[in-house]
Structure 1
């Protein structure tokens, strides 16, 4: 079919990139909920689905047939994601209507009186496709909301709450819903804020970015476990319970460390995590211990990633309340008024007592590092160059972070 002497389908396909930009700009201008979405989502998911729809319009016109179920799969997936993010259904349907109208205007541009039969047929094809889109998008959105509501108030939520509270699990043994596993990997996560959550002034987009971040983390965890896992997550993190019928590998491409790294990449934020495999009755204690480990990692400046108690044994033990804790911290009290010395000392230890690497990290000369280490020795009587002192310095730094 042709309009104004040009084949409609090839013309429309050639215009997809430019028309996508115009449609997205129109959505941002006309629909406040889209204007509040994270920039990453607008240039990614939203632009992708607009392009997919425009190419589908071209196919429907060229082959003179309705869209197939497979061709509508991406729209259904997109609608389910928007449902999880809390985007209203009426805004989504309006967006599809805006895109359809702009596509039609581009297609019919320059139509001549003799093009009337083609115009009418194309209009009919587009109306049928719009009906298919409305049905597919609405059904997928409402189904996603139904599942979300069911999960929130259903058996998985109740089981998660019972495990974290240490309640008896007998009532779940014969239920039709989820049943307790023999062993759980208790995973505690701390999620850094996504840049889109820091938008000022705060608006609806920050909430969408937070839900998007959580959804991506859950997707990674579900893929790793091979089934939906039990989660209690908010924007800052929370607890996840993965059934662990057998010991899970820690390292390697299919290990837990790789899973946490993948979750961080998917969410676009640093993730600190602690994990421990326990029987159901030990879940509350493991969750509490993990929370302490995650907090300890943050306070001691360790890098993001997955930690076990074995990874922080010294810091964990030294952070326990005791009379010695304050005394250890006081070993470095003479440096309180000299923050540059304290920073040099911490960096020097973190970088394996390498003066050149420390100098580069602090943007100073290596000789300045040597000078500051000598001053630290004079002020505290402790030097990292002496093995016996090094143990006391490390313990004192941990104690300082724990008070």
Structure 2
């Protein structure tokens, strides 16, 4: 039997209880206490969104405590591959802008509380076991700090380094309509040019650090999905609410795949996303981006649901948004309903439900007879009836023109 195996069989005992078992039993409650002290004593953690605290932070704290228990039990250092979750967590904190000193302080605090728990109730006879245990705990703390620090610095280098500068330069050139340069990062014969608008996450309310971290988390999660779609990393310029994305592709992708991409991105970012897309050659990207921007503005102003759109999805809206002397007059068709919001809402709902009075009544939580009455009142006030099929195109166009002329309503 080797010396290591003999040592493992001779478990360290403190206060008449195996030291490793003592730590494992205390791990859930000790994790909670460690997180509480981190929030109270390390300002950078108190500013993180609650989602991060209850999720990744709490998991890593408990993982580290159990790792300390394993080290005390085996009485030898941890294998290098066990630090993967710590490295991933440190890289995420780097992306969120958490200072490195805060991360190191958190590991030191956690291991100090681990030692306090292990040595509680110890007596003079436990001195030798405690001395050996603290040596193991100090060593695993050193390994944790080294792993977290190296991952943090690598992430910051990636975020701030030449790769990002090269991607930015490539995107600027493409948006300016410069000739294609196959030596640039992300170069491709075709690009999916996208304009995206991201809704605000509830954690973004306010103007403090927590809101900024939530906005960066949303963007990071969106980019991580978009990066995996094309033949190379996405070229993206995104702020907390909107931006432009260029996805390099070799061939024209199926539109349904692009729609699924936006749904996955919205799910990952945990917010609704409204986007417009067009597949274009490098020289056509500026025009595609301009058109996409107009489409997303139309979608938002006319109250359409979130999702991915292209020009053919909003042809009437787009045409009506072009400068025209007829547009104000078309919007004024519904001016008799200005002070009748229930009639205007009924009209919108009636058209949206395909002129189905029962479906409209259910959506409005009224009796179908009430819908019939309101439809008659709309006819009396505007001279157009949503119940007459010949009037429906006129009314639909008037609603769109009204939304374009009065976007605040």
**What's the secondary structure of 2:170's corresponding residue?**
helix
Contact 1:151 1:157 in 2 (8 A): no
SS at match of 1:213: helix
Deviation at 1:111, TM superposition (A): 0.9
What's 1:391 paired with?
393
**For residues 68 and 306 of structure 2, what CA distance do their matches in structure 1 show?**
46
SS of equivalent to 2:246: strand
Secondary structure (helix, strand or coil) at the match of 1:139 reads helix
Tell me which stretches of 4 or more aligned residues in structure 1 moved more than 3 Å: none
Distance in 1 (alpha carbons) for counterparts of 2:250 and 2:135: 56
Report Cα offsets for 1:23-65 as digits up to 9, x if no partner: 1111111112111111111111111111111111111111122
Q: Is the contact between residue 3 and residue 118 of structure 1 (CA under 8 Å) also seen in structure 2?
A: yes
- Aligned residue pairs total 394
Matched, 1:220 2:194: no
Match of 2:353 among 345, 348, 351: 351
Q: Where does the alignment leave 5 or more consecutive residues of structure 1 unmatched?
A: none
Q: Are 2:162 and 1:164 aligned?
A: no
Residue 226 of structure 1 and its aligned partner are, at CA, apart by 5.9
Deviations 1:277-331 (A, max 9, x none): 0000111111111111111111111111111111111111111111221121111
CA distance in 2, matches of 1:60, 1:355: 70
Q: Show the counterpart of 1:236.
A: 241
Change beyond 3 A, Cα 1:285–1:380: same
Whole-angstrom CA distance in 2 between matches of 1:270 and 1:16? 38
Q: 2:221·2:265 contact (CA, 8 Å) conserved in 1?
A: yes
> 1:191-247: CA deviations, max 9, x gaps?
011111014xx2111111100000000111112236421110010021111112112
Q: Counterparts of 1:105-254 in structure 2 under 5 Å?
A: 105-150=116-161, 154-169=165-180, 172-173=181-182, 175=183, 177-178=184-185, 180-199=187-206, 202-225=207-230, 227-251=232-256
- Cα pair 2:197 2:273 within 8 Å, conserved: yes
Give unpaired runs (5+ residues) of structure 2.
Answer: 1-11
CA contact (8 A) 1:377 1:383 kept: yes
Q: 1:279 matched to which residue of 2? A: 281
Determine the C-alpha separation between the residues in 1 that align with 2:196 and 2:128. Answer: 61
Q: Is the 8 A contact 1:66 1:125 kept in 2?
A: yes
CA shift in 2, pair 1:106/1:354, >3 Å: farther
Return the alpha-carbon distance in structure 1 between the equivalents of residues 362 and 333 of structure 2.
27
Range that drifts further, 125-134 or 361-370: 361-370
Which piece of structure 1 moves more, 224-233 or 155-164?
Answer: 224-233
State whether residues 186 and 233 of structure 2, in contact with CA within 8 Å, keep that contact through their aligned partners in structure 1. no
- Shift of the alpha carbon at 1:167? 2.8
Q: TM-score, normalised by structure 2?
A: 0.93
1:14 is displaced (CA, Å) by 2.4
Give yes or no for the alignment of 1:82 onto 2:93: yes
Aligned to 2:331: 329
What is the CA–CA distance in structure 1 between the aligned matches of 2:333 and 2:399, rounded to whole Å?
Answer: 9
- RMSD over aligned CA atoms reads 1.5
Using the TM superposition, give the Cα deviation of residue 153 of structure 1 relative to its aligned residue in structure 2, in angstroms. 5.3
Larger radius of gyration: 2
> 1:98 is matched with which residue?
109
Q: 3-state DSSP class of the match of 1:132?
A: helix
Q: Are 2:7 and 1:7 equivalent residues in the alignment?
A: no
- The whole-number CA distance in structure 1 between the counterparts of 2:232 and 2:148 is 25
